[in-house]
Amino acid sequence: MPPELSNLTEDQVFHRRVLRLLQKHHLPFLVGGDYAYQPYTGVQRHPKDLDLFVRPVDCKEALRLLSDMGYRTELTASHWLGKAFFKTHYVDVIFGFSNGLGQVNAGWFRRAFDGTVLGTSVPLVSPEDMIWMKAFVQERDRYDGADVAHLLHACFGLLDWKLLLNQFGSYWRVLLSHLILYGFIYPGDRNQIPVWLMEELMRRLQRQLTDNGEESLCQGTLFSSTEYKTDLEKWNFRDARLIPVASDRHA
């Protein structure tokens, strides 16, 4: 191991072995989570796990390879997540959104950026795809709004803003809410958000001022799997996660 990697912690050694294993077997993957967030933003924090993003068709093979190496594996959620464990450490094998809005596809790999993680050259999940996923993480014990703001601030010159708008699709209000908060968080940098994008989103908002949308529908479940149970169980709202999502536009 190179001298600069001699001080790796036990979990980092595990993560590095996983990266090298999948590369050895030519299984396509992207690195996301804190390992990608740090090089994009410069925000320093020790990753608690390794987030690997794979296509749905590759998840079982990734878990098999990790199992063959002696790691305990599981398909944690059949629509988006598998895991591999070593002692108290783990790797997330992610192939979709927990709320069912999308899955990893070829477009994610085309948009990836080259990076280096634990001394290994790997492709990183693009800032657009990270923002898209993190924008919907609003649990009681985890809110990724600050991560979204930091990615917007650090990567505004790299972002494909039209792609970002298209990714949110009919959930454009979520994007607008984060952009409005961005202007509050960084009042001196509001001009980093393209004027045409804010104007387009505000036009959409204006058109909806007299449109109440679909009745008895709760879309809060797209943010949190637990915080809107009252809406479903007592207030008789329908769960937006159960509505079929249109075919992926971002392949």
Do 5 and 101 have their domain in common?
A: yes
DSSP letters for 117-154:
ETTEEEEEPPHHHHHHHHTT-EETTEE-HHHHHHHHHH
Q: Count Cα neighbours of 57 within 13 Å in the Cβ-side half-sphere.
A: 3
Closest CA to 62 of 47, 50, 52: 52
Q: What confidence tens digit (pLDDT) does each residue in 131-171 have?
A: 999 999 999 999 999 999 999 999 999 999 999 999 999 99
Do 48 and 71 have their domain in common?
A: yes
Q: What confidence tens digit (pLDDT) does each residue in 75-127 have?
A: 999 999 999 999 999 999 999 999 999 999 999 999 999 999 999 999 999 99
Mean pLDDT score of the chain, rounded to an integer?
94
**What is the token pair recorded at 98?**
């927990």
Model pTM?
0.92
CA distance 83 to 81: 7
Q: What confidence tens digit (pLDDT) does each residue in 186-241 have?
A: 999 999 999 999 999 999 999 999 887 778 999 999 999 999 999 999 999 999 99
Do 202 and 227 have their domain in common?
A: no
Task: Tell me which of 69, 99, 125 is where a domain ends.
Answer: 125
For residue 41, how many other CB atoms are within 10 A of its CB?
Answer: 18
Task: Tell me which of 66, 94, 125 is where a domain ends.
Answer: 125
- What percentage of the chain's residues is helix, strand, coil (to nearest 5)? 50, 20, 35
